[in-house]
Structure 1
């Protein structure tokens, strides 16, 4: 699919490059999360030569800009997900099919009351198995 990410990259004050566009395209088309190594293998097919450090650097810059979300996974590998939802939200992550769903719920106000202190940041991610994967018998032990 041909996405137009130039305005997005401009808003982040990042140079518009074919590699950045390709990373965003791959993740947007993926519909789920991917490791830097998985993206690197796909980018090598498209560009021939591209270093893994280049992929990591671009992923870090896009994540810092809020365009990519870092997925915290039980396998302790680093994953990235393209999220075009710019409002404050969290994610449900399917550990089987890699689908990611937006959760518009945030319990920060309640947490702040219970902590009785100043919260400066928070991360909330719910890991589990989506309905489709459960129906297929995946994630059931």
Structure 2
């Protein structure tokens, strides 16, 4: 993602376009991997004047709430973030626990049957999160896995 794309996304969401927000978006948009707030901060702190880790957390939370970035949940209970280029519609992701790559599944896996069951119980769905964790095809092969983990 370049700065102009980031600027367009922020404007579309009626968010103020700031150098710090742009830098966080560009950092995430330049990686096919998920990153922690700490990793984002370490990558951008020398390029942005006086940005602290709390500011990075705040920006990441704002962007996640706006639907620009996806929160990634793993067993280590840390929160990670990923900027998905596919923002046209609701969908889910496959997360490789080995190389940290995130793949866009392109669709929502929550079926109509599930929604019907919730409605029959008297409830209503306001949101849902589905993330599939595993090991990607490259990491699954002996030769690919070694190369994948060295990235």
TM-score, normalised on structure 2? 0.83
Q: Please give the alpha-carbon distance, in whole angstroms, between the structure 2 residues aligned to 1:105 and 1:119.
A: 14
Q: Please give the alpha-carbon distance, in whole angstroms, between the structure 2 residues aligned to 1:76 and 1:64.
A: 19
Q: Please give the alpha-carbon distance, in whole angstroms, between the structure 2 residues aligned to 1:80 and 1:100.
A: 10
TM-superposition CA deviations, 1:42-90 (whole Å, max 9, x none): 1112125311111011111111111100001111111000012121111
The residue that corresponds to 2:31 in the other structure is 30
Q: 5+ unaligned residues in a row in structure 1: which ranges? A: none
Q: Please give the alpha-carbon distance, in whole angstroms, between the structure 1 residues aligned to 2:108 and 2:128.
A: 13
Q: Please give the alpha-carbon distance, in whole angstroms, between the structure 1 residues aligned to 2:145 and 2:33.
A: 20
Q: Which runs of 4+ in 1 moved over 6 A?
A: none
Q: 5+ unaligned residues in a row in structure 2: which ranges? A: 147-151
TM-score, normalised on structure 1? 0.89
Aligned length: 138
Please give the residue correspondences for 1:61-76 in structure 2 after superposition, counting only pairs within 5 Å: 61-76=62-77
Select between 38-47 and 125-134 the one with higher mean Cα deviation: 38-47
Shift of residue 124 of structure 1? 0.6
